[in-house]
């Protein structure tokens, strides 16, 4: 019997059974375009997808999924491995939507990968010019998504919109001229109808900015210069013309707070990196957290972690937004472990420092004073003779994402213990050439070797709750789950699973390459919780064996 | 600086026949920044931050050769420029990398020139032929030259080019500034109490890879052994004057000075 649509509709009204039929039809066609509400919900709804860089807008990287537990995690099985077949390594966080992974890789190659099989669905490859100035590897840190569109920044300083179904370019916006040192590597941040991005190039004498583009058209909505221009507040924090080439890139994704309508971005180092006399003053807004209105790009407030930085302490770490119980009240806070060696809890509405405490050995400043300014130690100005400072230029931590467990209010970070001799000397600015005014030599000998430690920090006090020590510093991002698991990596290629309450090692696997700035994600697929790990040039998917008893508590 | 760059470009274009093979252009024969005080100052900072770890703050050589002797031993500005640009393949000497401009390479060399010895101060004396016999008797159990000898210690086939004479003397006489990666002493205690001594090739939190005293290469999982301990003393014995006389050492050094390996970039 042939059913017309109207007859089917009538049947659906009459028969309870038909409701199942319509549901099945909906499932076959997928969950539909990604909405702004999906992004605001983040992992809150059911944690089955992973739609933004940080899992949610607050960058918690905390999943509500509980099928994999401390008791059964050692039974995890690899399901498949995906190889990029490119040069260079992953530095990405993958997205998962409707059983498909969306992945950016080195050299602006990107893929849609079937999460069931690890097989490629489409591949995008950008023709890149051969005279790129990207300072630190031809990397990319991930997609953003809205509707049926993916957004990706490029090494030649463009922002692309790609069709999620095909990988075809929908629009291509130019951020700036790559030939004079601009590049872009961060995962974009979608807020409402805009795509927010920043530029790298702090080692090439750029003048940094944060841009917003219309998600539909690619038309620029606003630009916020991270270095103020003439007449703007903060302009006189740069001597002479140094503001024109003062760096201050933005190359790590920020956070978004829908309640206060604010985006939070960490900014990079002033340039030249090590030669302070080339740019006297505080050098606003370098090494800062800048908080902008996402509709207009107007600055709401800023906090400068390292005024007049001379050690390349970019504040390009991932900000985490959290509501903390402090003195019997709930306070809206920003949690920030900084490359300069200090851990900060800031008031999210005002930028006032609530907690500032070193989380690694830190020698350049004694403490942060009540006004939020570092109390400097003497003898930490790099010159031709060299001076020794901890942490080294890579810092106490860096771009690799931390995680936050909102149930226990614990903040997790992959910390580095390392010192260096810093050298500073005058360099001349030549457009498109490296402009660092110095360099560092890592202190690494028989008696003093750098090491790593994955640390759990109480953001209310700044106290360390536990640590997991590693012989080689790690650059791995962190994922935590509601079943008290912490997924990350060490500095020698091991995937680590720790108990997030104690730091005890539960399981490990030697992947053959580190999680260099990558972070595992977790999602549901056909009723099983999966963990996806990018490392080196591979993605590896893990799950418990089929038919294993669910570990729900 | 623009003028210097223009001069470099002009020189490069002449050498490359009108700039057709611009990227392959030969460097100028003479350092265009020689004697420029600003270049020397910047060059010192670059040298100290990028080269001094191996060549020493005074450039007299630690894990790398003594650079105060290179001009006196016949190297040219252009040849040294190429060595910095390309590195020395198959050795610890890396290239300065594509992100270092030609100007920066010349600045490093401008600084080094200011501390260069006018004539060779490390004059080789001693009997090299006898030095080779000393090597066979005392060193070849662990060290290899041109395919002959042991493998527990580093290959010394180009020791004459790779190490300053003073650094070799200090090492032989027992100083260990630092352990060389891949040769750090390690002791593994097995569950039956037996110990295995060797040098550490690699390792992580969960395993260690070694070469033991009988040149067996082997990995151990830390969960399967009682302990993995870093050795305090180098696997290389101390050769004091009782063990190696001053004249034997002088002869050994004379033979070492002849060992340059295969280094096509040296001109």
Test A425 with B45 for CB contact under 8 angstroms.
yes
Residue A441 contacts B where some CB pair is shorter than 8 Å: yes
Residue A443 contacts B where some CB pair is shorter than 8 Å: no
Q: Kindly report, residue by residue over B116-170, the tens digit of the pLDDT.
A: 988 887 778 999 999 999 999 999 999 999 989 999 999 999 999 888 888 899 9
Model confidence at B8, in pLDDT bands (50, 70, 90)? very low
Facing A439 at nearest CB: one of B49, B176, B205: B49
* Mean pLDDT, chain A, integer: 93
The tally of domains found in chain A comes to: 1
Which pLDDT belongs to residue A299?
Answer: 98
Which option is the CATH number for B128-178+237-256: 1.10.760, 1.10.1060, 1.10.3470, 3.40.50?
1.10.760
Contacts of A424 in chain B (CB under 8 A): 45
As a whole number of angstroms, the distance between CA A91 and CA A142 comes to 8
Token couple for A516:
């260099």
Average pLDDT on A269-287 reads: 97
Q: In this structure, is residue A19 part of a structural domain? A: no
As a whole number of angstroms, the distance between CA B182 and CA B185 comes to 9
Residue indicated by tokens 């221009």: A229
As a whole number of angstroms, the distance between CA A247 and CA A267 comes to 10
Angle separating helix axes A16-28 and A5-14, nearest 10 degrees = 130
Token couple for A54:
């940080």
3-class secondary-structure state, position A263: strand
Model confidence at A367, in pLDDT bands (50, 70, 90)? very high
Residue B101 contacts A where some CB pair is shorter than 8 Å: yes
As a whole number of angstroms, the distance between CA A31 and CA A317 comes to 33
Spell out the CATH class of B29-114: mainly alpha
What residue in A sits closest to B101 (Cα-Cα)? A433
Q: Nearest to residue B174, comparing CAs of B131, B236, B232?
A: B236
Q: In this structure, is residue A78 part of a structural domain? A: yes
Q: Nearest to residue B74, comparing CAs of B105, B119, B11?
A: B119
**Distance in Å, alpha carbon of A430 to nearest chain B alpha carbon:** 9
Domain B184-230 has CATH 2.30.30.100: yes
Residues A90, A534 contacting (CB under 8 angstroms): yes
Q: Nearest to residue A78, comparing CAs of A402, A533, A431, A473?
A: A533
Which pLDDT belongs to residue A458?
Answer: 98
Which pLDDT belongs to residue B2?
Answer: 40
3-class secondary-structure state, position A247: strand
Residues A363, A371 contacting (CB under 8 angstroms): no
Which pLDDT belongs to residue A28?
Answer: 58
As a whole number of angstroms, the distance between CA B267 and CA A371 comes to 60
Test A384 with B1 for CB contact under 8 angstroms.
no
Q: In this structure, is residue A159 part of a structural domain? A: yes
pLDDT greater at residue B72 or residue A209: A209
**Distance in Å, alpha carbon of B266 to nearest chain A alpha carbon:** 27
- Percent of chain A at pLDDT exceeding 90: 88
Q: Name the burial class of residue A27, with classes exposed (0-12), middle (13-18) and buried (19+) by CB atoms within 10 angstroms of its CB.
A: exposed
Which pLDDT belongs to residue A29?
Answer: 66
Q: Is the model's pLDDT at B266 over the cut of 60?
A: no
Q: 3-class secondary structure for A32-47?
A: CCECHHHHHHCCCCCC
- Interface probe for B, chosen from A131, A276, A425 (most Cβ of B below 10 Å), is A425
Q: Is the model's pLDDT at A22 over the cut of 70?
A: no
Q: Nearest to residue A201, comparing CAs of A108, A132, A144?
A: A132
Q: Is the model's pLDDT at A27 over the cut of 70?
A: no
Give, in order, the Cα–Cα distances in Å from B121 to each of A459, B72, B117, B266. 61, 9, 7, 20
In degrees, to the nearest 5, what angle opens at C-alpha A18 toward C-alphas A15 and A20?
A: 135
Facing B45 at nearest CB: one of A384, A433, A470: A384
Contacts of A427 in chain B (CB under 8 A): 42
Residues A342, A360 contacting (CB under 8 angstroms): no
Average pLDDT on A448-468 reads: 97
Token couple for B161:
């080019």
3-state helix, strand, coil in chain B (%, to 5): 35, 15, 50
Q: Is the model's pLDDT at A13 over the cut of 60?
A: no
Highest mean pLDDT among A122-136, A260-274, A441-455: A260-274
Q: In this structure, is residue A281 part of a structural domain? A: yes
Dump the DSSP string for B147-166: TEE-SSSPP-TTHHHHS-HH
Residues A442, A418 contacting (CB under 8 angstroms): yes
Residue A490 contacts B where some CB pair is shorter than 8 Å: yes
- Interface probe for B, chosen from A132, A312, A384, A438 (most Cβ of B below 10 Å), is A384
What residue in B sits closest to A384 (Cα-Cα)? B45
Which pLDDT belongs to residue A24?
Answer: 52
Test B206 with A427 for CB contact under 8 angstroms.
no
Contacts of A426 in chain B (CB under 8 A): 38, 41-42
Q: What DSSP state is assigned to residue B263?
A: -
Facing A433 at nearest CB: one of B52, B101, B179: B101
Phi–psi pair at A405, nearest 5 degrees: -100, 110
- Cβ partners under 8 Å of residue A7, min gap 6: none
**What CATH number is given to the structural domain containing A441?**
2.140.10.10
Just list the catalytic residues of A: 312
Test B53 with A438 for CB contact under 8 angstroms.
no
Q: Which of the residue ranges A219-228, A296-305, B220-229, B254-263 would you say has the lowest mean pLDDT? A: B254-263
Which pLDDT belongs to residue A9?
Answer: 52
Q: In this structure, is residue A3 part of a structural domain? A: no
Q: In what order do the strands lie in the sheet with B195-204?
A: B217-221, B207-212, B195-204, B184-189, B227-230
Which pLDDT belongs to residue A10?
Answer: 52
As a whole number of angstroms, the distance between CA A548 and CA A384 comes to 62
3-class secondary-structure state, position A423: strand
Angle separating helix axes B246-256 and B165-172, nearest 10 degrees = 130
Q: Is the model's pLDDT at B265 over the cut of 90?
A: no
Residues of CATH 1.10.760.10 domain(s) within chain B? 29-114
Give all strands (DSSP E) within A269-390, no chain letters. 288-292, 299-304, 320-326, 329-337, 342-347, 353-358, 365-368, 374-376, 387-389
Q: Can you give the residue range of the structural domain that contains A539?
A: 32-543
Residue A440 contacts B where some CB pair is shorter than 8 Å: yes
As a whole number of angstroms, the distance between CA B136 and CA B148 comes to 9
Test A492 with B178 for CB contact under 8 angstroms.
no
Test A492 with B205 for CB contact under 8 angstroms.
yes
Buried b (16+ CB within 10 A) or exposed e, B249-259: bbbbbbbbbeb
Which pLDDT belongs to residue A16?
Answer: 47
Which pLDDT belongs to residue A253?
Answer: 98
Residue indicated by tokens 């978004």: A256
Q: Kindly report, residue by residue over A475-525, the tens digit of the pLDDT.
A: 999 999 999 999 999 999 999 999 999 999 999 999 999 999 999 999 999
Residues B60, B121 contacting (CB under 8 angstroms): no
Q: Is the model's pLDDT at B4 over the cut of 50?
A: no
Average pLDDT on A204-223 reads: 98
Residues of CATH 2.30.30.100 domain(s) within chain B? 184-230
Q: In this structure, is residue A375 part of a structural domain? A: yes
Residue A517 contacts B where some CB pair is shorter than 8 Å: no
Which pLDDT belongs to residue A506?
Answer: 98
Q: Kindly report, residue by residue over A173-212, the tens digit of the pLDDT.
A: 999 999 999 999 999 999 999 999 999 999 999 999 999 9
Model confidence at B53, in pLDDT bands (50, 70, 90)? confident
Residues B98, B86 contacting (CB under 8 angstroms): no
Residue A467 contacts B where some CB pair is shorter than 8 Å: no
Q: Is the model's pLDDT at B267 over the cut of 70?
A: no
Q: Which of the residue ranges A1-5, A474-478, B106-110 would you say has the lowest mean pLDDT? A: A1-5
Q: Kindly report, residue by residue over A383-437, the tens digit of the pLDDT.
A: 988 999 999 999 999 999 999 999 999 999 999 999 999 999 888 899 988 899 9
Q: How many CB atoms lie within 10 A of CB A483?
A: 22
Model confidence at B245, in pLDDT bands (50, 70, 90)? very high
Q: In this structure, is residue A552 part of a structural domain? A: no
Residues A146, A34 contacting (CB under 8 angstroms): yes
As a whole number of angstroms, the distance between CA A194 and CA A159 comes to 12
**pTM reported for the whole predicted model:** 0.88
Model confidence at B99, in pLDDT bands (50, 70, 90)? confident
């Amino acid at each position: 019997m042939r059913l017309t649509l109207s007859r089917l509709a009538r049947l659906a009204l009459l028969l309870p059974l038909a409701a199942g039929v319509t549901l099945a039809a909906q499932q076959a066609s997928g969950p539909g375009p990604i909405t702004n509400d999906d992004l605001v919900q983040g992992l809150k709804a059911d944690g089955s997808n992973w739609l933004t860089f940080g899992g949610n807008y607050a960058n918690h990287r905390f999943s509500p999924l509980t099928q994999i537990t401390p008791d059964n995690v050692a039974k995890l099985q690899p399901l498949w491995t995906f190889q990029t077949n490119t040069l260079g390594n992953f530095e990405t966080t993958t997205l998962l939507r409707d059983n498909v992974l969306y992945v950016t890789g080195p050299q602006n190659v990107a893929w849609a990968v079937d999460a069931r099989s690890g097989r490629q669905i489409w591949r995008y490859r950008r023709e890149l010019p051969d005279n790129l100035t990207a300072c630190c590897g031809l990397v990319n840190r991930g997609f953003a998504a809205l509707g049926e569109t993916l957004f990706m920044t490029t090494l030649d300083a463009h922002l692309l919109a790609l069709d999620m179904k095909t990988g075809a370019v929908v629009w291509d916006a130019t951020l700036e001229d790559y030939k004079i040192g601009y590049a872009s590597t961060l995962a974009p941040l979608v807020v409402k109808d805009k795509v927010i991005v920043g530029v790298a190039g702090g080692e090439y004498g750029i003048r940094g900015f944060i841009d917003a583009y219309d998600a539909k058209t690619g038309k620029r909505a606003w630009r916020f210069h991270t270095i103020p221009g003439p007449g703007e507040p903060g302009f006189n924090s740069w001597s002479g013309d140094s503001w024109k080439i003062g760096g201050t890139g933005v190359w790590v994704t920020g956070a978004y707070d829908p309640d206060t309508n604010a985006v939070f971005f960490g900014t990079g180092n002033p340039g030249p990196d090590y030669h302070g006399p080339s740019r006297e003053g505080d050098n606003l807004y370098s090494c800062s957290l800048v908080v902008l209105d996402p509709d207009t790009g107007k600055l709401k407030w800023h906090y400068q972690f390292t005024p007049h930085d001379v050690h390349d302490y970019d504040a390009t770490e991932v900000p985490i937004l959290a509501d903390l119980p402090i003195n019997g009240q709930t306070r809206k806070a920003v949690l920030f472990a900084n490359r300069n060696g200090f851990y900060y809890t800031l008031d999210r509405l005002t930028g006032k420092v609530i907690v500032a405490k070193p989380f690694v050995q830190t020698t350049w400043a004694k403490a942060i004073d009540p006004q939020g300014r570092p109390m400097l130690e003497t003898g930490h100005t790099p010159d031709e003779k060299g001076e020794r400072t901890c942490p080294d230029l890579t810092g106490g931590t860096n771009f690799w994402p931390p995680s936050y467990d909102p149930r226990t209010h614990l903040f997790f970070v992959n910390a580095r213990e390392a010192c260096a001799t810093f050298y500073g000397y005058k360099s001349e600015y030549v457009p498109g050439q490296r402009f660092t005014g110095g360099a560092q030599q890592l202190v690494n000998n028989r008696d003093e070797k750098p090491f790593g430690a994955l640390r759990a920090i109480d953001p209310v006090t700044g106290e360390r709750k536990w640590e997991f020590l590693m012989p080689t510093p790690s650059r791995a991002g962190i994922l935590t789950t509601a079943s008290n698991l912490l997924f990350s990596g060490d500095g020698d290629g091991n995937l680590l699973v720790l108990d997030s309450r104690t730091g005890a090692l539960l399981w490990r696997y030697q992947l053959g390459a580190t999680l260099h700035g990558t972070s595992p994600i977790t999602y549901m697929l056909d009723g099983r919780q999966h963990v996806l790990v990018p490392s080196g040039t591979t993605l590896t998917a893990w799950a418990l064996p089929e038919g294993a008893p669910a570990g729900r508590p | 600086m623009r003028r210097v760059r223009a001069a470099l470009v002009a020189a490069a274009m002449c050498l490359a026949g009108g700039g057709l093979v611009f990227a392959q252009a030969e460097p100028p024969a003479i350092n265009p920044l020689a004697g420029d005080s600003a270049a020397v100052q910047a060059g010192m900072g670059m040298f100290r931050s990028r080269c001094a770890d191996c060549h020493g703050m005074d450039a007299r050589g630690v894990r790398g050769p003594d650079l105060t002797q290179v001009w006196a031993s016949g190297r040219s500005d252009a040849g040294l420029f190429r060595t910095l640009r390309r590195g020395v393949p198959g050795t610890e000497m890396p290239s300065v990398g594509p992100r270092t401009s030609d100007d920066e390479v010349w600045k490093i060399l401008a600084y080094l020139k200011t501390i260069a010895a006018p004539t060779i101060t490390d004059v080789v004396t001693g009997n090299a032929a006898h030095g080779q016999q000393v090597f066979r008797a005392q060193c070849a159990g662990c060290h290899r030259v041109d395919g002959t000898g042991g493998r527990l210690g580093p290959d010394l086939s180009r020791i004459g080019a790779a190490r300053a004479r003073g650094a070799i003397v200090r090492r032989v006489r027992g100083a260990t500034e630092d352990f060389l990666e891949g040769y750090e002493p390690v002791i593994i205690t097995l569950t039956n109490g037996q110990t295995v001594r060797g040098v550490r090739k690699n390792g992580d939190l969960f395993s260690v890879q070694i070469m033991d005293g009988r040149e067996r290469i082997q990995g151990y999982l830390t969960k399967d052994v009682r302990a993995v301990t870093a050795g305090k003393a180098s696997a290389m014995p101390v050769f004091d004057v009782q063990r190696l006389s001053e004249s034997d050492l002088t002869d050994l050094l004379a033979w070492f000075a002849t060992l340059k390996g295969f280094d096509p970039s040296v001109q």
